Structure 1
């Protein structure tokens, strides 16, 4: 039987190479596996992806899923898929993580589409006191994807006592 990683990061159709490289560095630093769900907006061997990840790529437990259906089919029944979104989710500050959780982050430009959100066990949101309103006015619309990923990964790992 395959052992489930205590925590995993997954990126749904990432588009910006430096964000993916930075997330790979977070993955390596916290020893949390990273899955990229195709189609990607770049080639994994793209120079800008490698540059952002510096020389840490050998330390990344990387897998690539050909599409969301293939990715979802790889999950075991006791793994929860936690969609991370700027809107409409449970607060990161009060969420209870479990071993085996998979943190799913959406595209930089469109986030997680509704069908993908609906496939998640729950949606999680980072509370932002300086957030924009629903019309996108008066504040920050969202955090950079790599920043959001690092925050959620750290909080989850800390709560699960992985470090």
Structure 2
């Protein structure tokens, strides 16, 4: 069974993290938060965005990037950044890989990115747009990874309440 991992490096906005947490619960994805966080995990905005799903979230926090690496040895990590030379659809996501996103104001630090060029990915955009919203970016890349893993363990068909599909 595919068990993907989303990593947020120093997230700053609780509503984004809450939305990402909800997406992780809906997809069976683990969430990893690298401190410092720009908010408290008990904040109302975080819980509101994650709604009643936050209690079901598989989430781990780390003191810093080094702590994350130490506790996840050998992890295959993809780094989502606007600075990447390839797009998020140009790589093959393993069923237990980690996809890291940086903080809203600055992204992943370049001293981390420079050593991982082959696993840096970007979402294409036009013009001088700085970036997409963090929670939207996570959803885009995560669903591509899930698609590549055939949406393993996910519901693939919906059902009407009062009617039958032909």
TM-score range normalised by the length of the shorter chain: 0.7 to 0.9
Counterparts of 1:37-52 in structure 2, within 5 Å, are: 37-52=34-49
Q: CA deviation at 1:38?
A: 0.4
Describe the SS at the equivalent of 2:92: coil
Aligned CA-pair RMSD: 1.7
Structure 1 residue aligned with 2:76: 80
Structure 2 residue aligned with 1:62: 59
2:131 to 142, 145, 155: 142
1:12, 1:68 within 8 Å by CA — same for their partners in 2? yes
Counterparts in 2 of 1:100 and 1:118: CA distance versus 1, 3 Å: farther
Q: Give the distance between the partners of 2:76 and 2:5, measured in 1 at CA.
A: 10
2:104 to 96, 102, 108: 108
Q: CA deviation at 1:100?
A: 1.9
Describe the SS at the equivalent of 2:140: helix
Q: CA deviation at 1:41?
A: 0.5
Deviations 1:25-82 (A, max 9, x none): 11111010001100000000111111111111122101101111000112232x2111
Give unmatched runs, 5+ long, in structure 1.
Answer: 133-139
1:131, 1:142 within 8 Å by CA — same for their partners in 2? no
1:22, 1:146 within 8 Å by CA — same for their partners in 2? yes
Q: CA deviation at 1:119?
A: 5.0
The size of the alignment, in residue pairs, is: 151
- Runs of 4+, deviation exceeding 4 Å: none
2:144 to 137, 145, 155: 155
Structure 2 residue aligned with 1:29: 26
TM value normalised by structure 1: 0.86
Give unmatched runs, 5+ long, in structure 2.
Answer: 155-166
Q: Give the distance between the partners of 1:5 and 1:116, measured in 2 at CA.
A: 26
1:91 to 87, 94, 98: 87
